[in-house]
Amino acid sequence: MSERPTDFVESPSLDRDCTTLSRHILQQLQSYEGSAQDISAIMNRIALAGKLIARRLSRAGLVEGALGFTGEENVQGESVKRMDLYANDVFISVFKQSGLVCRLASEEMEKPYYIPENCPVGRYTLLYDPIDGSSNVDINLTVGAIFSLRQQEGDDLDHTAQDLLQNGRKQIAAGYILFGVSTMLVYSIGNGVHSFTLDPSLGEFILAEENIQIPQHGAIYSVNEGNFWQWDESIREYIRYMHRHDGYTARYSGALVGDLHRILMQGGVFLYPGTTKKPEGKLRLLYETAPLAWLVEQAGGKASTGTTPLLDVVPTYLHQRTPAIIGSVEDVELVESFIREGNRQE
């Protein structure tokens, strides 16, 4: 006798609606050990931060004091936007009394934020860029948030956070939240890359795609060509090659998360090489390029500085920048081949 009620109708869409982020993470971890429970709880808190930021962004034009600059500069010498600060505080508030994370480090804070009462229970550090591409906020275009989770090593009693200065392979979890047409959360805990769409009516992130694989090659190259005359000749040669060959198309939104998301789904390459003004490029390693590199490699892609695997770079300070070439294997290798050729001729 069937155990199902006779009027039960299979509904794949209903099944999918029930695959929430928290359920998916627990399935991924396949363990009820303390550390698995911690990572699951941390991911759920990151999702909460994403929902809070998405809510604020969706009403930004209506809320007094949500848009525009604060008049201050961050540690990188960049003008701080009100949304940058709001989103930075959201992550702190979400984790402050969680007992899960004992340090938070972000683009907006010169030094990590310590939560001593969470240690030694929560020996994790969350690194994040609260609003990536913040120049897009005031014109109502896509922005993102990037996160990376690392295990704390040692006591860090002197609060120098030296243990964070390690390569990108030390990440335990990484991902981003894309505030676009809809809000998406894309994450990996070292077992494939999975995307979720926020259903505002449920307040839940619902599975969109599991085990995303980036195409081996794609048509898109994503770079700020306004920097052309500030690049090394090898990058200029690569761009000339793109211009002269069929089958390539440029896309650049000014928000790394949006550009990278497109490449993850459709293939291609994102690059932010060094410039004469900024030889290391613009993007920061620990909370921008390393998490995205880790994610793209998890999806079968590649990430490079041009000469070294991006995940091998060991920073010497928290806010260190790196040139970044991230995307489909063939397209990243094409850029690398131009750089190699340039170096050979020097």
Neighbours of 60 (CB within 10 A): 18
Cβ atoms of residues 326 and 310 within 8 Å: yes
The string over 7-28, giving b where at least 16 C-beta atoms fall within 10 Å of a residue's C-beta and e elsewhere, is: eeeeeeeeeeeebbbeebbbeb
The closest alpha carbon to 175, from 212, 147, 214, belongs to 147
Distance CA 279, CA 322 (A): 9
Nearer to ligand AHM, 134 or 171 (CB): 134
99 binds, among ligand AHM, Mg ion, none (CB under 5 to 8 A by kind): none
- Which option in Mg ion, ligand AHM, none does residue 230 bind, with CB closer than 5 to 8 A by kind? none
Task: Select the residue whose beta carbon is closest to Mg ion and give its number.
Answer: 132
Instruction: Decide if 327 contacts 302 (C-beta within 8 A).
Output: yes
Our finding on whether 259 is near Mg ion (CB under 5 A) is no
**Residue 224 interface partner, choices ligand AHM, Mg ion, none, CB cut-off 5-8 Å depending on type:** ligand AHM
Per CB under 6 A, 330 contacts ligand AHM: no
Distance CA 189, CA 294 (A): 10
Instruction: Return the exposure string of 296-322: e unless at least 16 CB atoms fall within 10 Å of the residue's CB, then b.
Output: bbbbbbbbbbbeeebbebebeebbebb
Three-state secondary-structure class, residue 204: strand
Of 129, 259, 297, 336, the one binding Mg ion by CB under 5 A? 129
Q: Which is nearer to Mg ion, 282 or 302 (CB)?
A: 282
Give residues with Cβ within 8 angstroms of 3, minimum separation 6.
none
Q: Kindly state the number of chain residues that form the binding site for Mg ion, as judged by CB under 5 A.
A: 2
CB of 223 to ligand AHM, least distance (A): 8
Under rule CB under 6 A, residue 224 binds ligand AHM: yes
Q: Of 187 and 338, which CB lies nearer to Mg ion in the complex structure?
A: 187
Q: Using an 8 Å Cβ cutoff, are 124 and 118 in contact?
A: no
What mask, x for binding ligand AHM by CB under 6 A, covers residues 169 to 208? ----------------------------------------
First-residue to last-residue Cα distance in the chain? 78
Chain positions 94 to 113 lying near ligand AHM, rule: CB under 6 A, are 107
Query: Of residues 133, 273, 274, 281, which one binds ligand AHM by CB under 6 A?
Result: 133
Site string for ligand AHM, 267-306 (x = CB under 6 A): ---------------x------------------------
Report DSSP state, residue 309: B
Size of the site for ligand AHM (CB under 6 A): 11
From candidates 38, 108, 132, 232, binder to ligand AHM by CB under 6 A: 132
Q: Any contact of residue 132 with Mg ion (CB under 5 A)?
A: yes
Q: Which is nearer to ligand AHM, 215 or 258 (CB)?
A: 258
| CA geometry: angle 234, 237, 240, nearest 5 deg | 155
Nearer to ligand AHM, 49 or 255 (CB): 255
CB of 133: closest distance to Mg ion in angstroms? 7
Asked if 38 interacts with Mg ion (CB under 5 A), we say: no
Residue carrying structure tokens 């793209």: 296
Closest CB to ligand AHM among 173 and 263?
Answer: 263
Instruction: Please tell me the distance from the alpha carbon of residue 143 to that of residue 136, in angstroms, as a whole number.
Output: 6
Q: Which residues bind Mg ion (CB under 5 A)?
A: 129, 132
Q: Which residues bind ligand AHM (CB under 6 A)?
A: 78, 107, 129, 132-134, 224, 254-256, 282
